[in-house]
Amino acid sequence: MNKSISGFSKLSKSQKIDWIVNTYFSNTNNAKQVIKQYWNSDEKLQQLHDEFIENTITNYYLPLGVAPNFLINNTLYTIPMAIEESSVVAAASKAAKFWMDRGGFKTEVISTTKIGQVHFLFQGDFKVLHAFFETIKDKFLTDAKSITQNMEKRGGGILDIELRNKTEDLQNYYQLHVKFETLDAMGANFINSCLEQFAKTLKAEALNYEAFTEKEKHIEVVMSILSNYVPDCVVRAEVSCKVDDLTEKNINGKAFAEKFVQAVKIAEIEPYRAVTHNKGIMNGIDAVVLATGNDFRAIEAGVHAYAAKNGSYSSLSHAKIEDDVFTFWMEIPLALGTVGGLTGLHPLVKLALEMLNNPSAKELMQIVAVAGLAQNFAALRSLTTTGIQQGHMKMHLMNILNQFEATDAEKATLTKHFEKHTVSHSAVVSAIENLRSNA
């Protein structure tokens, strides 16, 4: 069977499905049924989802959960989270509740600058190029006026354009390194449109610049694109309380704080640990980023680059004990938007944003950072006390029961049973087998 096809994109949705099921599945009826069972009966809603991407055949569901009791700068939030992994929402909720009783989370947006670059090749004298750049700097701005005027009216726009000489690293390679303020928009389209205009201006003006030789006049633009590395679009989130206030029934506050700080220090100096530590942070961050219709790939790429900014991959969060006060904090780059993209289109994204009181991008940065810090706190708390498996497996119980197609009655019996027993895959399997053999 030929598994390649030309003109697939031009087929109708049902023709695409027919081709897929006939090409890749032996049980075509079953495959078709699985695909169709996720279609929405509301045709308009289904069409909206179909048109988010290309070659759509069905919807891929992720659960949308909520984590209540987040006290952030004295305001209470319930945070929406879209994620497939069990125990993440429970962990966030538990950490939120814990810190709600201890003053809550404090946050601050440190900066909101985003970066875009025009990457180009120039064969000639840098001093002449620099003189040329100075003469056309204003022209960049005037030529881009039709793109920037609305953003400027709202208080944003282009902050600075810099010529960077990168020829030490790559022959003939220069950049226009541009700083932007995009306010409530993530800004990708705005930035890329500005950059593509700058590239046109650069090439056109070079052709007319008399001080250039014939060779120098022909600047080659390689590409114009925003950067997802945003080390100047940073938010800080923090929790803090007296060490004694960390004390709970089985936990001594001082001993817990010391072990917790030690765990963070390990993640600061050991990349193998730092990656997992930061993965725990991203459990919270990605879930809120996704629920609010933002681009989690961009966030992931930017955050991990930031975690390696000092030359070695390290923990994003930090902790200390000073004068018997425990402080746990994180500074993290988050280029988020609350307008544009999916934010005005996806009904669940609109719902999630409304649940958060329709935040500005700056407010959303703070909420997302808190979700990350809370998640990290919950994971470290488990790791340094009970171990991660106890809580994780407790939450994973339902998934294991579903794997074994447990009935509602079996689920009820076994959930009760595991309130008093440790959940592990093998323990659940033998409990199901016992239950079924005694039935």
> Residues with Cβ < 8 Å from 199, sequence gap 6 or more?
118, 120, 221, 224
393 lines the binding site for ligand HMG (CB under 6 A) = no
CA of residue 300 relative to chain centroid, distance: 5
Separation CA 354–CA 281 (nearest Å):
24
Residues 172-231 that bind ligand HMG (CB under 6 A): none
395 lines the binding site for ligand HMG (CB under 6 A) = yes
CB of 154 to ligand HMG, least distance (A): 39
87 lines the binding site for ligand HMG (CB under 6 A) = yes
Residues 232-271 that bind ligand HMG (CB under 6 A): none
277 lines the binding site for ligand HMG (CB under 6 A) = yes
Token pair of 386 as six digits: 């009970």
Residue 119: its H or E element: strand 114-121
Is there a contact between 195 and 117 (Cβ–Cβ < 8 Å)?
Answer: yes
396 lines the binding site for ligand HMG (CB under 6 A) = no
Token pair of 295 as six digits: 């681009």
Catalytic annotation, residues: 85, 279, 295, 392
Total residues in contact with ligand HMG, by rule CB under 6 A: 24
- The residue whose two tokens read 């409530």 is 184
Q: Which of 187, 280, 333, 372 is in the footprint of ligand HMG by CB under 6 A?
A: 280
Residues 366-385 that bind ligand HMG (CB under 6 A): 378-380, 382-383
Instruction: Report the residue number, 366 or 382, with the smaller CB distance to ligand HMG.
Output: 382
Is there a contact between 228 and 298 (Cβ–Cβ < 8 Å)?
Answer: yes
Token pair of 207 as six digits: 């052709």
CA gyration radius for the chain? 27
- The residue whose two tokens read 């289904």 is 46
**Spatial strand order in the sheet of 325-333:** 106-109, 234-242, 325-333, 317-322
Stretch that binds ligand HMG, among 87-95, 110-118, 240-248, 292-300 (CB under 6 A): 87-95
CB of 205 to ligand HMG, least distance (A): 52
147 lines the binding site for ligand HMG (CB under 6 A) = no
Residues interacting with ligand HMG, by CB under 6 A? 85, 87-91, 93-94, 97, 276-277, 279-280, 283, 378-380, 382-383, 388, 391-392, 394-395
